[in-house]
Amino acid sequence: MSDAQQATPEQQERMKEVVAEAQQRAIQEIQQNMQVELQMRNNALNFAVQANEAGTDPVVITKTASTFLEFLKKGTA
């Protein structure tokens, strides 16, 4: 036989609250991370576009584009 005790209704309710709070925090963190990633991707793309202006060294354009593509693949550059 097991010595484990049944949780009281109050304990069960508190566990549900704790789980719901943790889920909400996780959702908020995911949303914040997505916003940061989107901003980083937008910045990287803008830099790549800006580097493609007349008079810019082709090596700079190539390096910027490569960095942007690497970021898109890995999420980091």
pLDDT at 2: 60
Give the total number of structural domains in the chain: 1
Q: Write out the E strands in the chain.
A: none
Q: Residue 50 falls within a domain, yes or no?
A: yes
Domain presence at residue 6: no
CA distance 45 to 42: 5
Q: Does a structural domain hold residue 65?
A: yes
- The CA distance from 32 to 22, in Å, is 15
Look at residue 12 and tell me if it is in a domain: no
Parent domain of 67: 44-77
| Residue 62 domain-assigned (yes or no) | yes
CB distance 64 to 48 below 8 Å: yes
The 10 Å Cβ neighbour count of residue 65 is: 16
Q: Which two tokens stand for residue 61?
A: 């354009």
What pTM does this model have? Answer: 0.56
Q: What is the pLDDT of residues 5-57, one digit of tens each?
A: 888 999 999 999 999 999 999 999 999 999 988 888 788 778 777 766 667 77
